[in-house]
Amino acid sequence: MDRELARFVAPEAEALLALDAELAPLVDVLTAVTARGKRLRSAFCYWGWRAAGRPDSDAMVRAAASMELVHAAAVVHDDIIDDSRLRHGLPTAHLALREAFTEGKRPKERARSMAMLAGDLLMAWAGQMFTGCGLPGAYLAQARGLWAVLARELIAGEALELLHTGGTPDVRRSLKVIRYKTAKYTVEHPLHIGAALAGADPALREVFTDYGLPLGEAFQLRDDLIGLFGDPATTGKSNTDDVSTARPTALIALAQEAATPAERRELKSLIGRRTLTADQLGRVRAVVERTGARDRVESMITERVEVAVGALGGAGLPRTAHRSLTGLATAATSRPD
């Protein structure tokens, strides 16, 4: 996946620079955000193809790698929305681009605008890489409609999160945001696209939904725990963003539900602060621990992984695909704090 992404991005970057050398900061950001990642989405897409009984294929690897460009686009846009400062231990795109605006007015706003354009281009690149992967046109046609579903549901999830940010915590609404913002485009949609490219029976797509939705939710629930309890030195991302932006996570909603009136007041006084001291972050963590919300989310993750892996049991998948999808379920939800 890394090799195919590099092969795609390099000539596209050169084409941008050929237009004007002053586009170098944009090129640097595009290169950086596509050069790293867990490659989970591309892995799920690839194994959707293999689970349908198809052989290994360089063209399919290229098709699957396009999922990483979708993810890169989503990450850039998400970081702008949340004003996140750290990703993979490096400055986020809109922060890194500030170096390009040392002259003139409103440098921060201009950097954010350029980062938004970078995210837009990454999404266009995803479609370009997918359609140019080398698979026959008839294969690609079978998956084309699924791209529209992926884009619609991803944007819907982001919009729902914005609508609920800062509102009354609600576990049900939080899980709905998780489903559309993360679970579907991380696991279910890539699997469906891989299976569609392979011409798989519709029954296999049903199996992938039964596997992908709970696993995708477990993936984001793990991310929510990391977002509060993680060490930035290990995770490469801030551990205050979720709290300072009042993001509607299931973790905080569960804590609010189980909190005493005094604990609710404490959470209300801390959630949504643009800057948090280490002591204030510790107070939020303490309430989440005392209410049992952290343990509850751990249980929700375990339950969902078990459901996901169980969905593969009677599906009659090729042994290698079954083993790989089972392993991916663990890899996606066992990330260190």
| DSSP H or E segment with residue 86 | strand 86-87
Q: At what angle do helices 40-51 and 319-333 cross, to 10 degrees?
A: 160
Domain 144-337 sits in CATH at 1.10.600.10
Q: Given this model, what pLDDT does residue 89 score? A: 79
Residue 270 Cα to chain centre, angstroms? 26
What are the CA-CA distances from residue 129 to residues 5, 120, 125, 267, 286 (Å)?
9, 14, 6, 45, 46
Locus of tokens 């919300």: 293
Residue 174 near residue 248, CB atoms below 8 Å: yes
Locus of tokens 């596997």: 211
Backbone angles phi, psi at 190, to 5 degrees: -60, -40
Q: Which residues, in sequence order, are CB contacts of 190 under 8 Å at separation 6+?
A: 41, 42, 44, 45, 48, 64, 67
Q: DSSP character for 35?
A: S
Residue 110, exposed/middle/buried by CB under 10 A (0-12, 13-18, 19+)? middle
| DSSP H or E segment with residue 310 | helix 293-311
Residue 311 near residue 210, CB atoms below 8 Å: yes
What are the CA-CA distances from residue 318 to residues 55, 93, 142, 272 (Å)?
11, 40, 22, 48
**Which amino acid is present at 96?**
A
In the chain, list all ranges with CATH 1.10.600.10: 144-337
Note down pLDDT in tens along the chain; length 337 residues: 999 999 999 999 999 999 999 999 999 999 999 998 899 999 999 999 999 999 999 999 999 999 999 999 999 999 999 888 878 778 899 989 988 888 888 989 999 999 999 999 999 999 999 999 999 999 999 999 999 999 999 999 999 999 998 888 899 999 999 999 999 999 999 999 999 999 999 999 999 999 999 999 999 999 999 999 998 888 887 888 889 888 889 999 999 999 999 999 999 999 988 888 999 999 999 999 999 999 999 999 999 999 999 999 989 999 999 999 999 999 999 876 5
What is the CB neighbour count within 10 angstroms for residue 169?
22
Q: Given this model, what pLDDT does residue 138 score? A: 97
Q: At what angle do helices 202-229 and 40-51 cross, to 10 degrees?
A: 160
Q: DSSP character for 179?
A: I
